[in-house]
Amino acid sequence: MSVISMKQLLEAGVHFGHQTRRWNPKMAEYIYT
């Protein structure tokens, strides 16, 4: 898995924001930021 920066996460949030259930709970704090 490649390193993902906060900027990339925020920019991609529009795309995977509705699929947070598929992500690891440990990543939630970054996803919801």
Domains contained in the chain, number: 1
The pLDDT assigned to 6 comes to: 72
Q: What is the mean pLDDT of residues 1-26?
A: 64
**What does pTM read for this prediction?**
0.28
**Are 20 and 31 a contacting pair, CB within 8 Å?**
yes
The pLDDT assigned to 15 comes to: 56
> Residue 9's pLDDT band (boundaries 50, 70, 90)?
confident
Q: How many other C-beta atoms lie within 10 A of the C-beta of residue 20?
A: 13
* Nearest partner of 15 among 2, 23, 29, judged by Cα: 23
DSSP 27: G
Q: What is the mean pLDDT of residues 3-30?
A: 65
Domain that holds residue 26: 1-33
- pLDDT cut 90: percent of the chain above it: 0
Q: Which residue shows structure tokens 């993902």? A: 4
